[in-house]
Amino acid sequence: MTDTKSTEHPERLRNGDFTDNSDPFVLFADWMEEASRTEPNDPNAMALATAGADGFPDVRMVLLKGFDEAGFVFYTNQESAKGRELDERPQAALAFHWKTLRRQVRVRGNVERVSDAEADAYFATRPRLAQIGAWASKQSSPLASRLAFEMAVTKVTARYAIGTIPRPPFWTGFRVVPLTIEFWHDRPFRLHDRIVFSRANEGAGWLKTRLYP
């Protein structure tokens, strides 16, 4: 799996034309690479939409931590609200918005957990304090006070004072395996470019369609 940076394609980036591209992942890699140079904060930030048991949608910002032709990966506490919702209803939508580039990408698809090996490998790259925080936080559960959280962090810090911190069994990654990927690019007078790639099922070929903006 690649990280959120990719090899630059100067010609495509320079002319800004993406409508002749037939591979949505190559196009996404181009846009993400350019966003990494222009966005002031978190170019890999994306809105993640899930559905609750009550049928209401939930949406929040998370960070894309890797992507390839298999899908888009992020990591979280699986006992969090989004983790529970994805385990119960494994479908999700993503939205990237790069304001400086006036571009947007939307993704819809099925969701699967990454392998333990993938989760272990990524967890090992996190800063030590972030690893401690993953153990200390009962994400999405009621918290009596900030002090209670700080005490939990202190206990975990003492527990893992030396040596490698293992990945918590309740912390893992999710992969959104896309069935549709839509690219939107701002144009003057709201005459935008909008292209959607779709496929009937995972592993099938992509159908590209231009949409009215």
Provide the CATH number for the domain around residue 109. 2.30.110.10
3-state helix, strand, coil in the chain (%, to 5): 30, 30, 35
pLDDT in tens, the chain (213 residues): 666 544 334 334 434 566 667 899 999 999 999 999 999 899 999 999 999 999 999 999 999 999 999 999 999 999 999 999 999 999 999 999 999 999 999 999 999 999 999 999 999 999 999 999 999 999 999 999 999 999 999 999 999 999 999 999 999 999 999 999 999 998 888 888 999 999 988 888 999 999 989
Mutual orientation of helices 146-159 and 128-136 as an angle, nearest 10°?
120
Domain of 57 in residue numbering reads as 10-126+167-210
Report the number of distinct structural domains present in the chain. 1
Residue 138 belongs to a domain: no
Which residues are known catalytic residues?
190
Q: Shortest CA distance to 103 belongs to which of 209, 208, 27, 49?
A: 27
- Global pTM value: 0.87
